[in-house]
Structures are given as structure tokens and as C-alpha cells.
Chain A
Amino acid sequence: MSTHLHADTEPLVEMRGITIQFPGVLALDHVDFTLRAGEVHSIMGENGAGKSTLIKALTGVYSVDSGTICVAGEERVFGSTADAQAAGISTVYQEVNLCPNLSVGENVMLGHEPRSLRGIDWRATHREAARYLSDLGVHLDTHTLLSSHSIAVQQLVAISRAMVLDSRVLILDEPTSSLDRDEVEQLFSVVRDLRAKGVAIIFISHFLEQVYDISDRITVLRNGQLVGEYLAQDLPRSDLVTKMIGKVLEELDDIATSAERTIDRTAAPLLRASGIGKRGVLSPADIDVYDGEVVGIAGLLGSGRTELVRLIYGADRPDVGQFELRGEPAKLASPRHSIDRRIAFSSENRREEGIIADLTVGENIVLGIQARRGWLRKMRSAEHDAVVAEYIAALGVRPADPNRLAGTLSGGNQQKVLLARWLATAPELIILDEPTRGIDVGAKADIQRKVAELSSQGLSVIFISSELEEVLRLAQRVVVMRDRRQIGVLDSNDVDVDGLIDYMANQGDDPMTGQDDGQADAPAGAQSEGSVA
């Protein structure tokens, strides 16, 4: 697969020293990015790295605080997406930003329909649309509704639309996350055609295999800063993962780890989930958690880690699989079921799915208890105050004011409030999805310490984090996920961070046949089931 880079050609897009500041956060810090005609260029980075901010700067959604954007050698300032489109920059989003209620042909041509004296010439419109689609190798009835087609086809329609706009730069933002293997192949062959025609393509995906499959170049961002630009063929996978994740050590070193603790696995596990999966979301996976155990889930964003825990909690409904609680079959079809069985779940999406921003800290903390009790049995105010004060103190919520609106707290303190909400319900298993993301080091240490402490007292925890250090320090076992499937279960004493990165990047690598059964791919030695440390 020889890449045909026009390294000597003039860059088509040059972004220099791009800085974007949000209130309280430096989203991009003097980032440079160069895009050349006829290349596929991936931008990689974990959550908060600044990928989408960079894209939005280029497409005119955000304005830059400092830095310059040159397109074809000409400096540009984009005030809106329409400006960027006029400069030949089009974007195809994951959720396909087209109009589902209109026909395929119309979506391709909307705003550019051929017109005659009698208004829009529909015959010519559909003919044109069909021509643009067949240029991409897509042949379908342009009169059919967009919504009657799969996401894959819709994405190709969106790309055709970009061609109508005569785009020189095509941004594909997570285009493959809901496509199956064949659809990805079809998309990639279209992308390769476009590259051959000299279109510059920015590709964003969480799927490492796909990134290596299609990219000529890779730019890595971390925490709003540029890590570097590399030729894909010169960058081994594990190096890429290391560059994306970075090393986070510093002040966290002194925290008591819980990884070495011995877990008694003789009794039936608290929770055993066998073969739970959902079509198009997650290949069937297995996970079990014993009393007092911390099970970590390692995987990059989009690897299926969040999907897995949402299925366990009943936030989404699995198509297949069974649950057992202490050996008894159980039904976990909704959050209510899980809560009644003393399972708690703190979402990675604090703002949308966690905090009730306009309620006070105190009200947020007791919400879990109150929901469990029902509306008639309101907590007496003395009890309420006691619980709230206890958890504010236990977790070190700052400011320690129960009457403050939760939405005004910093991310770390919101996370502590959420943790408090769940701990107050006295759960037996708590699922924490990225509880330490985007929060300051102090709060991070507080939360880690709390998890270690509670698990030593018998609470079971499922812990997801992008920071592998953290996972390895807290968890006794680590479930490894990649590309929406489980690729293995490791004993955390057997691996270090580099080993885990290598495992995440390379293990169970079987791109063409690797179907649903993730377990089968894991080497026997990696299975830590029963290997009582």
C-alpha cells in the first residue's frame, strides 16, 4: 500500500498557531495543522484533546482567538459554515447532517437545484444528483426518501453533496462509527477515489485499524496541544496510543493502590453478564464482578466501553445476553431495575446525563435516595441535611455549600456530587464511567482514593478511564475493549501501562474475520479468571 504523498506540493490548508479559549479552558493552544491536496490525514486524540475544536475552527463554527487559517495560500477568516463551504471546505458528520424528510436527490442538490422559468427543474435536479452519486459509484433511485436508506448510504449522499459544492477539502468526522465492515469498505473506496482526484481529506475515527487502513498522515493532539505530525507508515500503533494518552504520573503517585488486594472469588460473583450485546453497538461481551472487586475497563473512546456499561445498567437495552446476580438469573432492563438491585451508574456525560444543573448540590445528592423511596416518603429535613453534610465532607465537595446550584460547580466537584448521589443509595456495585475526566488533579486524587477505600470495604466497582495508570492502580482485573468488542481480560498485576497499551493496540488483531466473539481472540494466558492472586 504505497502512499502517494505530494509532500512537495503546496499545502492546501495551513493552520498556524490556532488558539481557542473557552471560559476556564484553553481548548486549543497554538496548534499547527497542515493539509495537502490528495492526502488522507487523520487527526487523533482522546476526549478533550481538541480534535473537534480544531475541525470547528476550520469549518467556521468557532472563531479563533489567535492564529491564521490559509486555504490555497490565501488567508481566510470564517464567520460561518457557509463561509467555509464557499472556500471549498465541506464536512460529513457522524450523525449525517442532511434532511431525512427530503429525497436523496434533493439532499444532494439542496440550494443548488437547476432552475428554469417554471421554478426548480426537478427532472434535471434528479439527473444531476444521480450523476454526482454515480461518480462515487453509488446507484440508487434519487426519488426515494433519505431516511429510507442506511447511515452508510446517507454518508455517501453527504459526500456527493460536498462534491456539488466543489469541495477541495472534505472532513469526515467519525463517519464509520455506525457502519458495518462492508459499508466501511465501500466508503473507503470512495475516499481513495477522491484522494486520487486530488481532494484533501481529514479523517477522524476512534477505530485504530481504520485509521491505519486509510490514512497517509496522522496528526496527534493531546490536551489542546499538538503532539506531532507523522507519516502513518512510520508510526507504530503502540507509539500512537502512547502519544494520544501521554503519561499522567506526577502528584498521583502516592495514592494507595488497590490493585494488589486479594479478591475472594470462591462464591458466586455479585454480577455476571454473559454475552450481552446489541446489534450495531457492541459485540457480545462477558464481564463478572466479585464482592469488593474493582474491574477496570480499558479501551479508547469509542471502543465500546461506555456501550458495555450502559447495557449492564439498563440505560440501553441489550439484544442478547443474560445477567446473574449472586448466581441467580436477573433482569436488568431499565435503570429502575438496576437501582432496585443496588447497582448504580455514573455516566461519562456529566452535564447531559448526570447533574441536574438547576437543582442544588443537596437536592442532587439525595435525588438517588429519593427516587428509590418514591415521592411520598420525603426525607425528613434533619436526615436530609445529615446525609448531604456527610457526603459533602466525605468527598470534599468544594464549595461545601449544599444550597448552591449544582450547575455552578466545577467539573470535578460535579463529579463528586454524582458520586455522592450514588454512594448515598448504599449500592453493592457502582459503575463509574470516566469519573476523573476533565477534572483537576486534586479532585482526581480524591475520587481515586474514595474508590480504593470503598472497595476495600466490600463495594464492587466497574471503573472506566482513559488514563491507564489509573485503571491499573485501582483495578484487580482489566477488561480490554477495542472497536466495539471485548478483546480480553487481564490481571492488572501481570501488565504495566506499556504492556496494556500494546495489548489494546495489537492484541486479537484479526480485522477481516474478527466477528462477535471477542473472548476467542484473547490468548489463554491472558485470561485471569480464577487465577487468585
Chain B
Amino acid sequence: MTRLMKHRLFWPLFALVALIVINTVARPQFIKVTVRDGELYGALIDILRNSAPLMLVALGMTLVIATRGIDLSVGAVMAVSGAVTLTIIDGSSSPGSTGTVLIAILAGIGVSLVLGLWNGFLVAVLDIQPIIATLVLMLAGRGVALLITDGFITTVNSEPLNFVATGYLFALPFAMFIWLAAVAAIAVIERRTALGVLTEAVGINPEASRLAGVRSRGIILGAYVASGTLAGIAGIIYSSNIRAADANAAGDLIELYAILAVVLGGTSLMGGKFSIAGTVVGVLIIQTLDSTILFLGVSSAQSPVFFAIVVVIVVLIQSPRVHQWGRTLTSGIRRSEAPEVRSDAEVTA
């Protein structure tokens, strides 16, 4: 049992299950899934569907945070990719054709990839602090999106585009498959190759990694490219959902929710060890919490208060000082277990 509790996913999963249980007790229809026209509906299905944009952004953020970085520009990138995609569809002669939509989507993703590359260049090559480097795009990105849409909210009615966010495949929301595919792809790339462990090495100890011959520059650049690209896909899903490119509202505050999801999933903001599964659970917690707050009759606008409390609790749990308090409390019990460290205390001094 204690080994189970020590598993890094234990607490995130516990929180998620607890939320679902509380919701179910409060309103039994919460876990009810109904079948209509061979498609599944229900609160849980909604959560899985609505998670898509945040899930994609949080995945990219996980990789960036693992390298000791942060990407503030994800919301702005979402706005740009949505704007690019919808403007192309809007301007084409056949907005309803699948080919047009595919080209538009690829264009949107391509632009996002370039934006990610730009962030990576500033951080990995010019060595600018990640917060500052990505702040530039965070500021300018929405301006660019507004320019692309001429300052209007571009609305588009295109069947293939709508399908992205609201369509169904095998009785389940198509958007869910998108994020499942992204999770699978990232997991394979990170864990089936050595990229994951090299990324962690760079995040944990950049200098030791350099001396060990790890090409940290490329790894950091890659993380930002991934983050940009995933944010771009998220932007297209968002636009597809509201059937419009809204440069101001798209991805508003999403960088903050994404960071929260990553931290909830047990990845430290100090970089290093990361958990893709943890981030997935973190996103689901946030979506479920959001749905809970709505159910409680709290306006969605007020929900940030709850998230603020969650952020504070999570950072306090991660704080060294709180750990120290915990250790002082338990030190009487297991003094003998003191780790064998600092044999070379002088060295660091």
C-alpha cells in the first residue's frame, strides 16, 4: 500500500477519482453515458472532448518545462493558427471541401511550427531566459492574429472543419482521438527513443549533460518546436469548436492552465523528470474541476478563485520549506534512515 502511495501518479489519480466520485454522489447523471444515433453523450464524454486543446498545449508545455523552460506564447500561437486556418478556408472558393480544410489546417500547423522554432531559437541559441523570450511572442502573437483576421472575428461554416471539434468517430468524439494520438505520439517519441531521458538529463543538470556530450541545444529547440506545433493544433480545434477565429479569446490564459496541469501531474517546474501520463491526468483534473465548478452554480468566470487555491496548494506541497516541516515532524520516527549525502560538503562550499 505504501509503495502504491509513493507512486508519482498516485495523488493525481486519487484527486481525479475523488472529483468524479464527489460529482457522481452530488448528481448521479454525471457518470451516465447515453447513446444517441450511435454516438455517446454525457458529462464524462464532454470532459474528454473539451480536454483536447488544453491537453495538446499541456503536452508541449511538459516537454518545455522538462528542459527547465517555460512557454508563455502558447495562447498566442493558438490564436495565430486559428486565424491562419480559418482565413484560408474563408477565402477559398470551396470552404466545404475536405481538401481545402486539410490544406488550411496544414498551413496553420506549419505557421505554429515556425513560431515554436522562433521561441526555441531565442532560448537555445541566443540564450535568453525562457520567460522573457516567449513573452515577446505572447505579446506580438495576438496582434499578428488580429492582423490576419483584419481585426474581425472570422466566422466560417465548413462541414469538415466543424468535424474536427464536434464530429464523432466510432461513437466517440473525434477531438478525443486527436489528443489520444498526440499523447501516443509524444510518448513514443520520448520513451521509445532516447529523447526523453536526454531531455531529462538536460533539465536536471545542464552542465553535467554538456560534459557528457549531450547536444542540449537541439533538444531544447525541439521542445519549443513541439510546444508550438501542438499549440497550433489546439488553436485549430478551438476555432473549429466555436466555428470562428477569435484572436482575443482563443487560448486566453491557457498557458496558465497548461502549467497548472503539468505541475498537477507531478512534473517539477525546476525541470528534469517529466510524466506524460501525469500531465494527462492533470488536464483531466482541471477539466473535471471546471465542470464541477459549473455544476455548483458558480459562474465560470469565478472559477479562477478555485484554481488559484489549487495552485497555492500544489506549490506549497512542492516547496522545500514545507518538506522540511514534514521532515521535522517525522524525523523522530525514522532518524536512522538519513540518506548518505554530502560526503564532500566542502566541495560545494
Contact = CB atoms under 8 A, between A and B. Distances in A.
Given A50-B346, A368-B213, A410 B208 contact: no
A421 B348 contact: no
Contacts of B193: 375-378
B273 interface: yes
Nearest to A315: B211
B207 A53 contact: no
Contact of A351 (B201, B210, B214, B347): B347
A147 interface: no
Interface string A388-430: 0000000000000000000010110000000001000000000
Instruction: Tell me which of A347, A371, A437 has the highest count of chain B C-beta atoms within 10 A of its own C-beta.
Output: A371
A411 B348 CA distance: 13
Contact of A421 (B194, B212, B219, B349): B212
B37 interface: no
Interface string B143-154: 000000000000
B225 to A, nearest CB: 14
Contact of A370 (B198, B273, B349): B198
Given A339-B213, A371-B198, A352 B339 contact: no
Given A356-B201, A359-B197, A370-B197, A336 B213 contact: yes
Interface string A433-451: 0000111000000000000
Interface in A353-400: 353-359, 363, 367-368, 370-379
Nearest to B345: A22
A52 B349 CA distance: 7
Contacts of B272: 358
Contact of A439 (B343, B347, B349): B343
- B210, B213, B341 — which one has the most chain A CB atoms within 10 A of its CB? B213
Contacts of A379: 194
A355 B339 contact: no
B207 A352 contact: yes
B289 to A, nearest CB: 29
Interface stretch (A23-31, A81-89, A261-269, A283-291): A23-31
A356 B213 CA distance: 13
Q: Counting chain B CB atoms within 10 Å of each CB, which of A25, A313, A348 scores highest?
A: A25
Most buried by A among B192, B193, B205, B338: B205
A371 B214 contact: yes
Contacts of A60: none
A335 B210 CA distance: 7
A359 B348 contact: no
A357 B205 contact: yes
B341 A23 contact: yes
A350 interface: yes
Q: Please tell me the size bucket of the interface on A.
A: 35 or more
A441 to B, nearest CB: 13
A103 interface: no
B198 to A, nearest CB: 5
A350 B344 CA distance: 9
Contacts of B219: 375
Interface in A1-53: 22-25, 27, 47-53
Given A352-B207, A363-B197, A411 B215 contact: no
Residue of B193, B197, B272 with most partner-chain A CB within 10 A:
B197
Contact of B211 (A353, A372, A408, A439): A353
A218 B223 CA distance: 54
Interface in B183-208: 192-195, 197-198, 200-201, 204-205, 207-208
B208 A355 contact: yes
A410 B195 contact: no
A56 B348 CA distance: 13
A23 B338 contact: yes
B338 A358 contact: no
Interface string B310-349: 0000000000000000000000000000111111111111
Given A339-B213, A372-B213, A375-B194, A47 B347 contact: yes
Interface of B: 192-195, 197-198, 200-201, 204-205, 207-215, 219, 272-273, 338-349
22 contacts: A22-B342, A23-B338, A23-B342, A25-B342, A47-B346, A50-B346, A52-B346, A348-B347, A350-B344, A351-B347, A354-B208, A359-B201, A367-B214, A370-B194, A371-B209, A371-B212, A375-B193, A375-B195, A376-B194, A378-B194, A437-B344, A438-B347
Given A51-B346, A372-B213, A377-B193, 5 more contacts: A23-B341, A56-B349, A351-B347, A375-B195, A438-B347
